[in-house]
Structure 1
Amino acid sequence: MIIFPNAKINIGLHVVNRRPDGFRNLESCFYPVNWCDALEIIRAEETRFTSSGLTIPGETDMNLCLKAYKLLQQDFALPPVHIHLHKNIPIGAGLGGGSADAAFTLKLLNNLFELNLLVPDLENYARRLGSDCAFFIQNKPVFAVEKGDVFEPIDLHLSGYQAVIIYPDLHITTAEAYQKVVPKNPNENLKNLLQQPLTTWKDGVQNDFEEALFPSYPVLPQLKAYLDEAGALYASMTGSGSAVFGIFPKDFSQKLTVTGTTYSVWQGAL
């Protein structure tokens, strides 16, 4: 059985304050995009994980897909499986690729072995794997708060708009990003700002990690400016970086490229 875990972008991101457990409270709109990995799970004689495509750092035993399998195995008599992941979404980009792989593993195992887990059950398992994993269970636009794992509905529809995402082959660790960002109470209500016309977002919808990371990584503001100049209605870094995205009009048909680099570019409809 094969499934295609997709990425997400953050439209606005405020780091509000530090929590007693060491995490930060944040608020952000999570929006799914169709930059995808490919995940296959089949029955096997012994459980193993393999991958192709982009190199996945770290030990295999620490892969989130395998962790998701082991998490369900604690509560269900799952048979051995072979998990194969073709990695296409850049790692360390703020696109949530690893979280998507984990959440889609839960969903695929639920279907494959008829575990009859409901959406709230799957979300609770996903929260144990990572802060934004639960988003990918329902995989629809939400306004995320607390650690990014509590969701409020948001009436945001960008269907037909074009998105361009550029990953500058720059891995910014979550630890570094959060070390540099300064939590602060936002001046404006992000959820209200996102209900305004998209053409007004440039003036108020901000990602707090830009202020923290742009001085250290000048390529990031350069890419944001490039997207603005190309005609983006709104451009921003996603998550804690380092991918930068632009949202373009529905009739935008120009194919954007970044030449002479090892950058990755994805372009498609939202």
Structure 2
Amino acid sequence: MLDFPNAKINLGLYLTEKRPDGFHNLQSCFYPVQWSDALEILPSEREQFDMSGLPVPGSAESNLCLKAYKLLQQDYSLPPVHMHLHKVIPMGAGLGGGSADAAFTLRILNKLFELNLSADTLENYARQLGSDCAFFVRNKPVVATQRGDVFEPATVDLKGYTCVVVYPGIHITTAEAYGSIKPKLPTCDMHMLLKQDVEVWRSVLHNDFEEALFPKYPELQQVKNKLYEAGATYASMTGSGSAVYGLFKEKAPGELVFPGHYAVWKGLL
């Protein structure tokens, strides 16, 4: 069975407090975009996992796809499978690619072996794999709170907008990003912010990580500025970086060019 785990962008991201367990509580809107990996899982005589595309650090055993399979295998009699992951979504970019791979592994296994697990049950498994993994089970816009794993429906619709996502080839680890900012309570409710016109988001909708990471990585600020200069209605860093996206009400200009080592995805939302 073949599927295509997709990325997400953050519409606003606020770190609200440090938790006793060492994680952070946050508020954000997760919105899916179709920059995708490819994941194929087939029944096999022996367990096998291999990858192609972008190189993924670490051993196969540490990959979230294999961890998702092992997690389900603890509770269900899953036969051996051959999993192949073709990696396209950049890592350390704040796009949630690894989390999507894990969640889609659970989804595929559920269908392939007719486990008949509900979306709620799959989300509970996904929460054990990573903070935002559960989002990709339903894969619909949500307002996320707590660790990024508690969801409410988001009343935001960006259909018709073109999204341009720019990854400048900078890998920012979660530890680096979260260690660089001090949590604070937001002054506005996320639902209220999202109800405002996209045209005013530039003034009211922010990513807390930008203040800390833009001075350290000026390329990120330069990408954001270039997106606005090209006519973006709204531009922001996504997640804890380093990808930056722009939302264009009209078709994004074709002459939007970035240095050769940058990865750029463009698609209609």
TM-score, normalising length: structure 1: 0.98
Deviation readout 1:140-169 (Å, 9 max, x if unpaired):
000000000000111111011000000000
**Residue 129 of structure 2 corresponds to which residue in structure 1?**
129
Contact 1:43 1:79 in 2 (8 A): yes
Q: How does 1:40-51 map to 2 (within 5 A)?
A: 40-51=40-51
Structure 1 position 254, deviation (Å): 2.7
The AA in structure 1 aligned to 2:21 is: D
SS in 2 for 1:262: coil
**Residue 262 of structure 1 corresponds to which residue in structure 2?**
261
State the alpha-carbon separation in 2 of the partners of residues 15 and 50 from structure 1: 36
Aligned-pair identity in percent equals 62
SS in 2 for 1:94: coil
Q: Which runs of 4+ in 1 moved over 6 A?
A: none
1:94 counterpart = 2:87:
no
Deviation readout 1:149-205 (Å, 9 max, x if unpaired):
000111111011000000000000000000001101112222211110000100010
CA gap 1:106/1:141 in 2 versus in 1, 3 angstroms: same
1:33 counterpart = 2:33:
yes
The AA in structure 2 aligned to 1:267 is: K
Contact 1:162 1:247 in 2 (8 A): yes
**Residue 220 of structure 1 corresponds to which residue in structure 2?**
220
The AA in structure 1 aligned to 2:11 is: I
State the alpha-carbon separation in 2 of the partners of residues 189 and 81 from structure 1: 45
SS in 1 for 2:101: helix
Structure 1 position 253, deviation (Å): 5.0
Deviation readout 1:82-129 (Å, 9 max, x if unpaired):
100000000110000000000000000000000000000000000000
Structure 1 position 46, deviation (Å): 1.1
Q: How does 1:1-270 map to 2 (within 5 A)?
A: 1-254=1-254, 256-259=256-259, 261-270=260-269
State the alpha-carbon separation in 2 of the partners of residues 255 and 229 from structure 1: 12
State the alpha-carbon separation in 1 of the partners of residues 208 and 35 from structure 2: 24
Deviation readout 1:192-245 (Å, 9 max, x if unpaired):
111100001000100000011111111010100000100000000000000000
State the alpha-carbon separation in 1 of the partners of residues 204 and 19 from structure 2: 25
The AA in structure 2 aligned to 1:86 is: H
State the alpha-carbon separation in 2 of the partners of residues 39 and 253 from structure 1: 32
What RMSD over aligned residues (CA atoms) do the two structures have, in Å? 0.9
State the alpha-carbon separation in 1 of the partners of residues 97 and 52 from structure 2: 15
- The number of residues matched between the two structures is 269
Unaligned runs of 5+ in 1: none
SS in 2 for 1:214: helix
Structure 1 position 44, deviation (Å): 1.1
Deviation readout 1:19-68 (Å, 9 max, x if unpaired):
11111100000000000000000111111210000001011100000000
Unaligned runs of 5+ in 2: none
Contact 2:90 2:97 in 1 (8 A): yes
Contact 2:164 2:265 in 1 (8 A): yes
Contact 1:182 1:212 in 2 (8 A): no
Higher mean Cα deviation, 242-251 or 22-31?
A: 242-251
Contact 1:257 1:265 in 2 (8 A): no
Structure 1 position 14, deviation (Å): 0.2
State the alpha-carbon separation in 1 of the partners of residues 250 and 123 from structure 2: 33
SS in 1 for 2:34: strand
Contact 2:29 2:144 in 1 (8 A): yes
